[in-house]
């Protein structure tokens, strides 16, 4: 309670420094006046009285200063003084300052960035209703096809016969040509079974989902718009429901708009109902769709898998089914890589901390002389500790801020690089918890070791320190600590180097796989032909021939094929 | 004894005297100094400059509290008064001091 009152008074003292000065002055004046009256009563002349009174009071300025100090109005000025001094010291030793800041920045920045990526990719829950009940139903035919799509007929059989699921839906990623207005655009989208959005637990924010009738070939000329598409091409028009747009040469009616976080599967912006065509369900071996199931409450993935194992031999000769958790399907492969990278970042942070500690302890030794001098001049230990702490905190802050900038820069870079292999890579955003943690760790290390020179002055052997301070190594204990730190740092650095070297080697090998042809100066173009105009394969072949003819005439390419 | 300890002891004794003076009734700073010298029957000279920092320090620690009052000669003055915690602290310090004096007495008595 008293602490609170004192704190309150100090803050108030800050704001009303003038008042405090004035009050102290008043009190001093009062005292002196009383003394003067007393003196006059004793028979002194007014002049003598005043002189005597002022003399007895002592140095007025000094009293006022001490009073002001105790009343606590001084701490902000002290802080400002410390900051200025700290900055001056840092500028005087640019090498030390730079190394310290860079070390902190790398440690904090790298770890935070890595953590943010891992957080977005692995830990953020998928934006579906109860995502841990969702499973992907894949097919496999070992050893050539460990994970493969399923076929419409298999999907329909599963829907009819499997008991483990509340419902099963299907989807296939497709590209659409939107030829609305004067800017044709190629959109990533998907054909989905009508029950899929409901299965995932996402409802449209405008309009409605697909009906079962629309999920048939010929009747599926409807579409759901993605949120960003709706904003981008349709100006977020609330009257967009019922509008028709031309896609792949066909008039499609918009029936709904999906919420912003729905981009399933990867980066889809527009969805149409599946509507299996007769050719698609002609053969059971037409594997091109993915199936999603929601497990019934109480059913484990293992139970579902057993059911699948019993069912598949009846449907297929060579293919078997597998039940894979959603998280596993999307993130599984990448987890190992991310784990390794995270470990590496952690090592960097550790090295950074050890480095900082070492730097600070070394600096502490060189500053012993200065500290001894200040103690001899009358500085209390508290004052010195405060000053060192301010300096260290300032340094840590600068390092931390640089680290934050580095992390933000790295994350911005990460978001730009299209790595579709890693789901949600592009959604990486700064993980505040990671930032806070690394910040505190680095600052804590700084504080701990930055105070070492002050704490060692418990019994100031001033003469000794004044004479030799700055040159002496600083005692056996300190040297031992320094040795331990150096060894630790070297060890960690070597581990990191070796790990990095190995990773680089693997990456090199990957890139070096011969493609089978010389890719120099070869341009590959993917063309999306609208299905309505070029439905038949012979039409597609005709188009290709015409295209090649035209291209051959164009100057530039050496050969076309 | 290291330098620091000596000033501590002096400061502590001074604080105790101030607390004792105030235990007889609230007073302003000047009055406190006078009262101490009066009680010591003029055997002590109070350094007037260090009165106020000492008073402020005691107030920081919550053993005395102050308020501005118009005094006898119609000037505003800050009056100090002992708090309950201060009263307790005074007892503690009195006891410590007594023991200290006793110890020193014993040592010095051995001829």
For residues B19 and B93, the answer to whether their CB atoms sit within 8 Å is yes
Which of B28, B51, B60 has its CB closest to that of A30?
B28
Residue of A nearest to B55 (CA): A67
* pTM greater than 0.80 (yes/no): no
Which DSSP category does A221 fall into? -
Query: Considering only alpha carbons, which residue of chain B is nearest residue A59?
Result: B49
The predicted pLDDT at position B83 comes to 92
Tokens of A302: 């293992």
**pLDDT tens column, A61-105:** 777 777 777 666 566 777 888 888 888 888 888 888 898 889 888
How far, in Å, CA of A134 to CA of A302, rounded? 13
A137 neighbors A150 (Cβ within 8 angstroms): yes
The pLDDT tens digits for A222-239 are 899 888 888 888 888 888
Cα separation, A439 vs A429, whole angstroms: 17
Is the Cβ pair B57, A70 closer than 8 Å? Answer: yes
Beta bridge partners of A320: A140
Contact flag B30-A59 (C-beta cutoff 8 Å): no
Which element (helix H / strand E) includes A35? Answer: helix A17-41
Average pLDDT over residues A360-383: 75
What's the rounded mean pLDDT across residues A271-298?
A: 87
Q: What would the DSSP string read from start to end of A441-488?
A: HHHHHHHHHHTHHHHTTSS--HHHHHHHTTTS---HHHHHHHHHHHHH
Q: What is the ipTM of this complex?
A: 0.83
* Beta-carbon separation of B52 and A28 below 8 A: yes
Distance from CA of A12 to the nearest CA of B (A): 14
Percent of chain A with pLDDT strictly greater than 90: 2
pLDDT higher than 50, residue B4: no
Query: Do the beta carbons of residue A254 and residue A207 sit within 8 Å?
Result: yes
- B63 contacts on A by Cβ (under 8 Å): none
What's the confidence (pLDDT) of residue A458? 42
Region B92-109 average pLDDT: 89
The arithmetic mean of pLDDT across residues A259-273, rounded, is: 83
Among A117-121, A147-151, B25-29, the range scoring the smallest mean pLDDT is: A117-121
Find the chain A residues whose C-beta atoms sit closer than 8 A to any C-beta of B.
Answer: 2, 5-6, 23-24, 26-28, 30-31, 33-35, 37, 56-60, 62-63, 66-67, 69-72, 459
Instruction: At A479, give phi and psi (nearest 5°).
Output: -60, -40
Q: Is B76 on the interface with A (CB under 8 A)?
A: yes
pLDDT digits (tens, 9 = 90+) for B14-45: 889 999 999 999 998 888 988 988 888 878 88
- Residues A328-341 have a mean pLDDT of 71
* CA nearest to A290, candidates A251, A264, A317: A264
CB-defined contacts A:B, below 8 A: 63
Which of A203-207, A535-539, B107-111 has the largest mean confidence? A203-207
Select the residue of A5, A27, A37 nearest B52 (Cβ to Cβ): A27
The predicted-structure confidence for A459-482, as pLDDT tens digits, reads as follows: 445 555 555 544 444 566 667 777
- Best of B8, B50, B58, B60 to disrupt the A interface (most A CBs within 10 Å) is B60
Residue of A nearest to B4 (CA): A380
Is residue A426 very low, low, confident or very high in pLDDT (cuts 50, 70, 90)?
low
Q: Is the pLDDT of residue B108 over 50?
A: yes
Check residue B87 and give its pLDDT. Answer: 92
Distance from CA of B22 to the nearest CA of A (A): 17
A134-141 and A145-148 strand pairing: antiparallel
Which residues, 6+ apart, have CB-to-CB distance to A151 below 8 Å? A283, A284, A285, A286, A287, A288, A289
Q: Which of residues 40-69 of B touch A (CB under 8 A)?
A: 47-53, 56-57, 60-62
* B28 touching chain A per CB within 8 A: yes
Max alpha carbon distance in chain A (Å)? Answer: 130
Q: What are phi and psi of A209, to 5 degrees?
A: -85, -165
Find where tokens 């190992």 sit: A336
Q: Mean pLDDT over residues B48-64, rounded?
A: 85
Return the pLDDT at A526: 66
**Among the partner residues A30, A63, A70, nearest to B77 by beta-carbon distance:** A30
Section A429-455 average pLDDT = 72
Predicted confidence (pLDDT) at residue A418 exceeds the cutoff of 80? no
pLDDT at A46 over 70: yes
pLDDT tens-digit map of A174-195:
888 887 777 788 888 899 998 8
- pLDDT confidence band for A207 (50 / 70 / 90): confident
Q: Count Cβ atoms below 10 Å from residue A307 Cβ, excluding itself.
A: 19
**Chain A residue whose CA is closest to B70:** A30
Q: Which residues of chain A make contact with B47, given a CB cutoff of 8 A?
A: 58
Using CA coordinates, name the residue in chain B closest to A381.
B4
Q: What is residue A360's predicted lDDT score, i.e. its pLDDT?
A: 78
pLDDT of residue B3 exceeding 50, the answer is: no
Q: Which residues of B touch A57 (CB under 8 A)?
A: 48-49
A27·B57 Cβ contact <8 A: no
For residues B70-95, average pLDDT: 87
Chain B residues with beta carbon closer than 8 angstroms to that of A63: 49-50, 52-53
Q: Do residues B86 and A103 lie in contact, with contact meaning Cβ atoms separated by under 8 Å?
A: no
Kindly state the average pLDDT of the residues A515-542: 67
Residue B55's Cβ-count burial label (10 Å; 0-12, 13-18, 19+) is buried
* A30, A70, A72: residue with CB nearest B30: A30
Of all residues in chain A, the one with the smallest CA distance to B71 is A30
Instruction: Confirm if A365 and A175 have CB atoms less than 8 A apart.
Output: no
Could you tell me the pLDDT band of residue B2, with boundaries at 50, 70 and 90?
very low
* Interchain contact, A67 vs B75, CB within 8 Å: no
Rounded mean pLDDT of A44-69? 80
């Amino acid at each position: 309670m008293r602490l609170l009152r004192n704190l309150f008074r100090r803050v108030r003292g800050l704001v009303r420094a003038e008042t405090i000065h004035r009050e102290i002055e008043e009190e001093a004046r009062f005292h002196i006046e009383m003394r003067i009256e007393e003196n006059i009563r004793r028979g002194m002349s007014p002049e003598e009285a005043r002189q005597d009174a002022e003399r007895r009071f002592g140095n007025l300025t000094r009293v006022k200063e001490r009073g002001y100090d105790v009343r606590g109005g001084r701490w902000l000025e002290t802080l400002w003084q410390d900051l200025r001094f700290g900055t001056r010291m840092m500028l005087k030793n640019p090498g030390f300052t730079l190394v310290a800041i860079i070390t902190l920045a790398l440690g904090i920045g790298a770890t935070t960035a890595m953590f943010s990526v891992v957080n977005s990719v692995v830990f953020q829950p998928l934006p579906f209703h109860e995502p841990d009940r969702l499973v992907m139903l894949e097919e496999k035919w070992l050893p050539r096809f460990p994970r493969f799509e399923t076929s419409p007929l298999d999907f329909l059989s599963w829907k009819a016969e499997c008991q483990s699921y509340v419902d099963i839906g299907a989807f296939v990623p497709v590209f659409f040509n939107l030829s609305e207005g004067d800017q044709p655009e190629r959109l990533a989208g998907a054909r989905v079974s009508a029950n899929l959005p409901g299965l995932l637990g996402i409802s449209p924010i405008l309009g409605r989902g697909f009906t079962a009738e629309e999920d048939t070939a010929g009747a599926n000329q409807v579409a759901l718009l993605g949120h960003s598409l709706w904003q981008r091409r349709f100006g977020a028009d609330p009257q967009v429901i019922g509008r028709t747009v031309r896609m792949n040469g066909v008039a499609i009616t918009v029936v709904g708009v999906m919420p912003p976080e729905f981009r399933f599967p990867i980066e889809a912006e527009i969805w149409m109902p599946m509507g299996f065509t007769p050719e698609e369900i002609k053969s059971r071996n037409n594997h091109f769709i993915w199936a999603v199931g929601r497990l019934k409450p109480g059913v484990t993935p293992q139970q579902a898998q057993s059911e699948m194992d019993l069912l598949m031999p009846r449907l297929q000769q060579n293919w078997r089914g597998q039940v894979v958790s959603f998280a596993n399907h999307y993130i599984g492969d990448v987890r190992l890589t991310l784990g390794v990278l995270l470990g590496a970042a952690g090592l960097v942070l550790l090295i950074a901390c050890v480095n900082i500690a070492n730097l600070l302890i070394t600096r502490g030794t060189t500053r012993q002389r200065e500290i001894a001098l200040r103690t001899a001049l009358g500085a209390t230990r508290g004052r010195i500790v405060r000053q060192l702490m301010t300096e260290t905190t300032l340094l840590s802050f600068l390092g931390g801020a640089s680290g934050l900038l580095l992390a933000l820069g790295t994350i911005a870079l990460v978001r730009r690089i299209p790595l579709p292999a890693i789901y949600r890579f592009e959604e990486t955003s700064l993980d505040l918890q990671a930032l806070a943690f690394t910040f505190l760790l680095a600052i804590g290390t700084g504080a701990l070791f930055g105070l070492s020179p002050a704490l060692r002055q418990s019994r100031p052997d001033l003469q000794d320190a004044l004479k030799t301070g700055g040159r002496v190594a600083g005692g056996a204990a300190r040297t031992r600590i320094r040795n331990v730190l150096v060894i630790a740092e070297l060890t960690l650095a070597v581990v990191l180097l070796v790990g990095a070297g190995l990773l680089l080697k693997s990456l090199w090998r990957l890139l070096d796989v011969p493609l089978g042809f010389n890719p120099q100066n070869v341009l590959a173009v993917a063309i999306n032909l609208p299905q309505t105009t070029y439905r038949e394969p012979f039409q597609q072949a005709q188009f290709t021939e015409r295209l090649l003819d035209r291209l051959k005439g164009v100057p530039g390419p050496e050969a076309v094929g | 004894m290291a330098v620091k300890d000596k000033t501590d002891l002096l400061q502590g004794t001074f604080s105790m005297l101030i607390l004792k003076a105030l235990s007889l009734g609230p007073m302003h700073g000047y009055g406190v100094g006078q009262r101490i010298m009066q009680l010591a029957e003029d055997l002590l000279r109070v350094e007037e400059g260090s009165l106020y920092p000492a008073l402020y320090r005691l107030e920081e620690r919550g053993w005395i509290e102050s308020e501005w009052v118009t005094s006898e000669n119609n000037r505003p003055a800050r009056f100090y008064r002992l708090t309950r915690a201060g009263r307790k602290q005074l007892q503690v310090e009195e006891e410590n001091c007594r023991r200290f004096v006793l110890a020193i007495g014993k040592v010095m008595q051995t001829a």
